[in-house]
């Protein structure tokens, strides 16, 4: 096998192992330790990526609350560990629970379109939820569930170190900002969490039920893009009217 063929095989193997770890638990990730023993190597992970992977392994098959009994998969999060923009939602839905990935259903497809409209691809951001397990029948998270799971989100934020956070929906915004204010008061302005700007807007699932909220959401994400350009400034010039 040529060196280039080994690199291709290794890359595919590592991608498969990472997927299996997310779907089946961190015990499968131990298989990746065999790669160096076989003389195989892949691209070195970024420091943030390494910290995030270690944190996922640390969480393991969390059983801290009753949601573990009804879930199919723990949905840790997905995306670029070096993301400058982090997206935070409420909790996995039915499709997310089945696949082990955040925002992959109809609401996820709408989120992709919203991000694309302001010049972002899913691959360059990091997406996570406050809760890592689906509440039965998509009910509202209970206070005790939030209290037990929120440290996981805080750990992700600490390791990723995003420059901006987009909070999707009332629950995500209140959890991030440690407040009980309604979304109507939280959106429309830039909030802050430990020095990181937070912009709150409607959850994509809510937009599917209430299309009249799409206009204010468009205003919110335009504000997000403007702030991103001011704080980060690593993207090509963007013209919303183009």
Residues 169-195: pLDDT tens digits?
999 999 999 999 999 999 999 999 999
Q: What percent of the chain has pLDDT over 70?
A: 81
220 and 156 within one domain: yes
Q: What are the beta bridge partners of residue 74?
A: none
Which range has the worst mean pLDDT, 37-46, 76-85, 123-132, 153-162? 37-46
132 and 31 within one domain: no
CA angle 113, 117, 120 (to 5 degrees): 85
- Determine, yes or no, domain membership for 54: no
Alpha-carbon separation of residue 98 from 40, 75, 90, 108, 205 (angstroms): 32, 9, 16, 14, 17
- Give the residue with greater pLDDT, 150 vs 21: 150
- Determine, yes or no, domain membership for 152: yes
98 and 12 within one domain: no
75 and 40 within one domain: no
163 and 88 within one domain: yes
Q: What's the confidence (pLDDT) of residue 238?
A: 85
CA 35 to CA 47: how far, in whole Å? Answer: 20
110 and 14 within one domain: no
- Give the residue with greater pLDDT, 89 vs 138: 89
- Determine, yes or no, domain membership for 50: no
172 and 111 within one domain: yes
73 and 40 within one domain: no
Its pTM stands at 0.81
Please say if the pLDDT value at position 64 is more than 80. Answer: yes
CA 124 to CA 12: how far, in whole Å? Answer: 20
Give the domain CATH number at 225: 3.40.470.10
Rounded to an integer, what is the distance from CA 145 to the centroid of its chain? Answer: 18
What is the average pLDDT across 103-126?
96
What is the average pLDDT across 80-97?
97
Q: What's the confidence (pLDDT) of residue 93?
A: 94
Within 10 Å of residue 32's Cβ, how many Cβ atoms? 17
38 and 72 within one domain: no
144 and 40 within one domain: no
- Determine, yes or no, domain membership for 51: no
- Determine, yes or no, domain membership for 128: yes
Q: What percent of the chain has pLDDT over 90?
A: 76
Q: Please give the residue range of the domain that contains residue 17.
A: 3-44
76 and 195 within one domain: yes
For the chain, give the mean pLDDT: 86
149 and 90 within one domain: yes
């Amino acid at each position: 096998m040529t060196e280039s063929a080994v690199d291709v095989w290794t890359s595919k193997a590592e991608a498969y192992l990472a997927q299996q770890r997310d779907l089946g638990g961190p015990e499968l990730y131990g298989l990746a330790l065999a790669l160096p023993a076989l003389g195989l190597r892949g691209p070195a992970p970024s420091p943030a990526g390494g910290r995030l992977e270690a944190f996922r392994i640390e969480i393991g098959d969390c059983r801290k609350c009753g949601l573990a009994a009804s879930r199919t998969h723990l949905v840790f999060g997905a995306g670029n560990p070096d993301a400058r923009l982090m997206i935070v939602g409420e909790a996995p839905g039915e499709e997310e629970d089945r696949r082990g990935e955040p925002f992959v259903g109809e609401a996820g497809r709408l989120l992709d379109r919203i991000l694309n409209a302001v010049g972002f691809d899913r691959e360059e951001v990091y997406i996570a939820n406050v809760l890592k397990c689906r509440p039965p029948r998509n009910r509202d998270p209970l206070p005790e569930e939030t209290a037990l799971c929120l440290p996981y989100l805080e750990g992700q934020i600490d390791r990723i170190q995003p420059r901006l956070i987009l909070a999707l929906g009332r629950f995500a915004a209140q959890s991030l900002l440690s407040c009980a204010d309604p979304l109507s008061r939280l959106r429309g302005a830039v909030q802050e969490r430990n020095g990181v700007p937070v912009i709150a807007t409607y959850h994509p699932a809510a937009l599917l039920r209430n299309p009249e909220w799409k206009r204010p959401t468009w205003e919110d994400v335009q504000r997000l893009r403007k702030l991103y350009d001011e704080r980060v400034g690593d993207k090509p010039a963007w013209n919303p009217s183009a």
